[in-house]
Chains A and B, each alone.
Chain A
């Protein structure tokens, strides 16, 4: 079945360093979403990418959707302690459906 793989599983950085997580799907996606989950919290929607090659920015966060719409990345510039958490990517199981398949997540920890 459809799989969404995310790497790395864990990343520890010094505050101020950059961070990137990568997401790869076994199938072409109509869109991809990113979520953030703080420790002990619930996933919160960050962004959705729809177009091939799309790049979106939210302050220090940059999201990219690959040209083939099978991979995506999230890059955080100059991490801050507020960035701590687990970042998930997710794509629809079937095109046009709201059923999502999630990557395993990348857990980011930061040394202040």
Chain B
């Protein structure tokens, strides 16, 4: 099993550009989440999904969209990038009977 995979590893965007961060898991986990990590602020939940077709907002959803068309994939879309979205983004998945989160390797995003 590859676990949770994320692409790209690094990305530089200009203000106003859009892009999609990809996340996939091969563990058949129902729950998937997107977090951003900024220095001194821990991990903050952006969006969350309990299964295909169902998504929910987290703590910091503004500026981000998600969809979950399959169990495996949970892409995160930045519609119009802003410098405040410079961060490291982690995708995570969880089995329905557990709280343990499996994290992907992360995407380091810089918006200039």
Contact = CB atoms under 8 A, between A and B. Distances in A.
17 contacts: A9-B40, A33-B101, A41-B105, A42-B90, A44-B103, A48-B99, A48-B100, A98-B33, A98-B94, A99-B33, A99-B48, A99-B56, A100-B33, A100-B99, A101-B45, A101-B59, A103-B42
B99 A92 contact: yes
B42 A105 contact: yes
Interface string B47-62: 0101000001011000
B38 to A, nearest CB: 10
Interface string A80-106: 000000001010110000111111110
A90 B94 CA distance: 14
A45 B102 contact: yes
B2 interface: no
Interface residues of B, number: 27
A31 interface: yes
A100 B105 contact: no
Closest 10 CB pairs of A and B: A42-B103, A102-B42, A102-B43, A104-B42, A98-B31, A45-B100, A98-B94, A43-B103, A105-B42, A42-B106
